[in-house]
């Protein structure tokens, strides 16, 4: 069975084709991605209306590219999946509209996928896929959650951020340091030349004893330090601040992941979402988990941020496990706000 998947929840248009058999991990046949980062950079963040319009421009050429790479015709697709939510309403409507109308024309069913389920299952696209059950650390631009995952479709929320997400903490701190949007990767690069002990930044909720997070206070602490540095800070001071900020976020993420692992007794951690690409986070998690006999799985680096492959993959795994509520008939809705544990 072949699943075509569309991702358009924010500022990446992704299309991918996945093959799913009754048994074994589904495999990626082809994928194409267009990031709108360059377009939004001038505004310092995502402009929703521009995002929707650009998805419209990109989605069909990307689909043709995927089919050409796969050497397949649209008629050879069995199910069309799309991101139903959460995300920007207008952006979601583009992917959903294209998926549902294409499926109606072909007489094929559609499947609306939860964007976070896509992130969560993206490590199954790697050469070394995890096994169930596991603890998942989902760290993206809009979410920071720890979950217990027993199987496809069984997502128990253990804790989440009460304010900003980890990706947001990276992006907002980076913005204060004058770095381009999205700041996470830029801050991480700047941090390579910095001393992470140079600034004493808070580790919010580190000792709360629960797997929950708060990052809004960190951003305020970074702002305070920036103000102290004055109008023209030395490059080294900024590198030190970047390293200290990253160290604070990473320490909290590692500590809370270990807490969730310990409380569950599970020995497997799956990291997903854009911040999962962060080298410092990977290094610290690998070190802490190796010491405790815990295996850590990550998505491939290029699949940490939004892409179509993870949406097609989540749909494929839902189909394979008999949990896909396929739809037919041309009607659809999107869910800009949607809790994964209720999906």
- In the complex, the residues that contact Fe ion under the rule CB under 5 A are 140, 306
Closer to ligand ATP by Cβ: residue 185 or 204: 185
Nearest-approach distance from CB 179 to ligand ATP, in angstroms: 10
Calculated CA dihedral for residues 125, 281, 159, 340, nearest 10 degrees? -30
Nearest-approach distance from CB 7 to Fe ion, in angstroms: 8
Asked if 168 is part of the footprint of Mg ion (rule: CB under 5 A), the reply reads: no
Nearest-approach distance from CB 193 to ligand ATP, in angstroms: 15
Cα distances from 108 to residues 18, 134, 216, 318, in angstroms, run 16, 34, 45, 17
Q: Identify residues 290-309 at the interface with Mg ion (CB under 5 A).
A: 306
First to last CA, the chain: 24
Distance of alpha carbon 154 from alpha carbon 173, whole angstroms: 34
Closer to ligand ATP by Cβ: residue 240 or 306: 306
Closer to ligand ATP by Cβ: residue 229 or 279: 279
Nearest-approach distance from CB 272 to ligand ATP, in angstroms: 8
Q: At what angle do helices 166-176 and 235-264 cross, to 10 degrees?
A: 170
Closer to Fe ion by Cβ: residue 55 or 108: 55
Instruction: Tell me if 3 sits within 8 A of 18, measured CB to CB.
Output: yes
Residue 143 touches which member of Mg ion, Fe ion, ligand ATP, none, C-beta under 5-8 Å by kind: ligand ATP
Candidates 279, 292, 328, 340; CA nearest to 102 is 328
Nearest-approach distance from CB 119 to ligand ATP, in angstroms: 6
Q: Which residues bind ligand ATP (CB under 6 A)?
A: 10, 87, 115, 119, 140-143, 167, 170-171, 182-185, 188, 273-275, 277-278, 305-306
Closer to Fe ion by Cβ: residue 130 or 276: 276
Candidates 15, 29, 13, 1; CA nearest to 102 is 15
Please give the annotated binding residues, written as ranges.
Answer: 115, 119, 138-142, 171, 184, 278, 306
Name the residue with the smallest CB distance to ligand ATP: 274
Closer to Mg ion by Cβ: residue 238 or 334: 334
Q: Identify residues 3-42 at the interface with Mg ion (CB under 5 A).
A: 10-12
Q: How does DSSP classify residue 213?
A: B
- What backbone torsions phi and psi does residue 305 show, to the nearest 5 degrees? -85, 180
Distance of alpha carbon 265 from alpha carbon 229, whole angstroms: 45
Instruction: Tell me if 77 sits within 8 A of 3, measured CB to CB.
Output: yes
Nearest-approach distance from CB 248 to ligand ATP, in angstroms: 13
Query: Is 37 exposed, middle or buried (CB count within 10 Å of its CB: 0-12, 13-18, 19+)?
Result: middle
* List of residues contacting Mg ion (CB under 5 A): 10-12, 306
């Amino acid at each position: 069975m072949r699943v075509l998947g569309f991702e358009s929840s924010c500022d990446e248009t992704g299309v991918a084709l996945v093959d799913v058999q009754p048994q074994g991990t589904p495999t990626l046949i082809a994928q194409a991605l267009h990031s709108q980062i360059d377009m939004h950079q001038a505004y310092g963040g995502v402009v929703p209306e521009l995002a929707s319009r650009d998805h419209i421009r990109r989605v069909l050429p990307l689909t043709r590219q995927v089919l050409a790479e796969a050497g397949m015709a649209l008629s050879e697709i069995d199910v069309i999946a799309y991101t139903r939510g959460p995300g920007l309403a207008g952006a979601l409507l583009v992917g959903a509209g294209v998926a549902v109308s294409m499926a109606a024309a072909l007489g094929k069913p559609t499947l609306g996928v939860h964007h976070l389920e896509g992130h969560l299952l993206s490590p199954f696209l790697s050469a070394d896929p995890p096994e169930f059950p596991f603890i998942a650390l989902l760290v993206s631009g809009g979410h920071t959650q720890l979950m217990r995952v027993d199987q496809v479709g069984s997502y128990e929320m253990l804790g989440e951020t009460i304010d900003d997400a980890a990706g947001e903490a990276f992006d907002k701190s980076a913005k204060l340091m004058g770095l381009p949007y999205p700041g996470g990767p830029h801050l991480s690069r700047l941090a390579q030349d910095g001393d992470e002990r140079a600034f004493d930044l808070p580790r919010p909720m580190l000792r709360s004893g629960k797997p929950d997070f708060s990052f809004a206070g960190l951003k305020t602490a970074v702002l305070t330090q920036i103000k102290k540095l004055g109008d023209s800070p030395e490059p080294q001071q900024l590198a030190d601040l970047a390293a200290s900020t990253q160290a604070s976020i990473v320490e909290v993420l590692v500590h809370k992941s270990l807490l969730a692992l310990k409380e569950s007794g599970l020995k497997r951690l799956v990291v997903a979402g854009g911040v999962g690409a962060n080298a410092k986070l990977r290094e610290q998690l690998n070190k802490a988990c190796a010491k405790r006999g815990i295996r850590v799985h990550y998505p491939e680096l290029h699949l940490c941020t939004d892409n179509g492959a993870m949406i097609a993959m989540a749909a494929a795994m839902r189909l394979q496990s008999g949990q896909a509520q396929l739809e037919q008939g041309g009607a659809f809705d999107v869910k800009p706000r949607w809790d994964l544990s209720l999906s």
